[in-house]
Homo-oligomer: A and B are copies of this chain.
Amino acid sequence: MATIRDVAKIAEVSVSTVSLAFSSPGRVSPRTLERIRSAAAAVGYVADPLAQSLARGRSRMIGFVVGNVGNPFFGDIRRELENYALEHEHFVLITDSSGKTDRERDLIEHLIGLKIAGLALAPSSFGPDYVKFVESIKVPMVCFDQKVAGIERDFVGSDNFLAGAMLTEHLLQLGHRRIAFIAGPQHMHTASERYRGFVETMASAGVEVNPNYVVDGQFTRSAGYEAAMRLLIQPERPTAILGANNAVALAALQAMQELGFSCPDDISLAMIDNVQWSSVITPRITMVVQDTLQLGNIIARRLLHRITDPDANNEPPQDFVLAPKFVPGNSCRRI
């Protein structure tokens, strides 16, 4: 590998001039610039990014930290960020915390050690300690998906209240009254907002929520399955189930299938968030989806803005909340 000193020697200039020639070509005379460029081309010189990062104190890498890179929701966002970053000569380092807060912390610290230019984080936790940790991160950052109370950073996400409300309203319109809700962990903002959307829409319609119809699915497949089973063995079954996310809803579908219930004939089902291959699942589930591409795009723009614009760190943190979209399927029946 050719170093900057090799180039300097060949071009017969000092090392600092070579450095200058690449970082701000305008400040070098056209003649020497040309000499340096051809010398660099001759030996195939490419600046060592590691040495640059060490000297500059920052790199051109962006950290992307989520709980599950396999989730297509995060996948879409990641792809948008990658493309946008690439256009601006930045490079995305993807990491996966498996939803574990400890590992997330390790990953972030590792990334900071690599002197990343910026961080896109889908927070995995909440609470004072967590907020303190996130607030201590001095790298430009954008949080997304999960709004955490107390974190004063840019946030990009969807209107989860609306998501819950839309599906509830849809089921009410179809004549359902005995609507069950498989909730997520209430400390998560997305989960509590979706639940609030359900509860308040029911209240607005003057329909009472049966406490037995609200179960906790933890946003996971296994807990969702158990929760659904509890719903389905009740003597007075709900006529419709609303899953607060894709995992619990599909777990409910599985439970229904295993118990021999037909969807939507026996029980209707609706969910928040898409899954891969949703179109080949029978029935096609009525859902509300987030505009992942748009979310990714905003995250990317906002983060790159904070990274590249020198006085962007004076700008106050801002929230970007997008409306989700209703996607009808055939899993909800009029009664």
A110 touches B91 (CB 8 A): yes
Check A180 for interface membership: any CB of B closer than 8 A.
no
Residues of B within 8 A of A282 (CB): 257, 281-282
Determine the residue in chain B with the shortest Cβ distance to A75.
Answer: B70
- A54-B54, A96-B79 known; A254 and B279 CB under 8 Å? yes
Check A209 for interface membership: any CB of B closer than 8 A.
no
* 0/1 string, A84-122, CB within 8 A of B gives 1: 000000011111101000000000001001110000000
**This chain's copy number in the assembly:** 2
Question: Which A residues between 49 and 101 are near B, CB-CB below 8 angstroms?
Answer: 49-51, 53-54, 59, 69-72, 75, 78-79, 82, 91-96, 98
Interface size on A, residues (CB 8 A): 38
A259 to chain B, nearest CB (A): 13
- A49-B114, A50-B54, A69-B70 known; A276 and B279 CB under 8 Å? no
* 0/1 string, A258-294, CB within 8 A of B gives 1: 0000000000000000011101111000000000000
CA A250 to CA B280, docked complex, whole Å: 7
A254 touches B276 (CB 8 A): no
Selected from B95, B110, B281, the residue in CB contact (under 8 A) with A281 is B281
CA A203 to CA B125, docked complex, whole Å: 57
Selected from B46, B49, B98, B277, the residue in CB contact (under 8 A) with A277 is B277
Q: Which of A53, A95, A277 has the most B CB atoms < 10 Å from its CB?
A: A277
CA A82 to CA B68, docked complex, whole Å: 13
CA A229 to CA B54, docked complex, whole Å: 56
Residues of B within 8 A of A257 (CB): 280, 282
B96 touches A78 (CB 8 A): yes
What are the nearest 5 A-B pairs in CB distance?
A70-B75, A94-B94, A282-B282, A49-B113, A254-B280
With A70-B75, A257-B280 known, 4 other A-B pairs at CB within 8 A are: A50-B115, A250-B280, A276-B277, A282-B282
A-side interface residues toward B, CB under 8 Å?
46, 48-51, 53-54, 59, 69-72, 75, 78-79, 82, 91-96, 98, 110, 113-115, 250, 253-254, 257, 275-277, 279-282
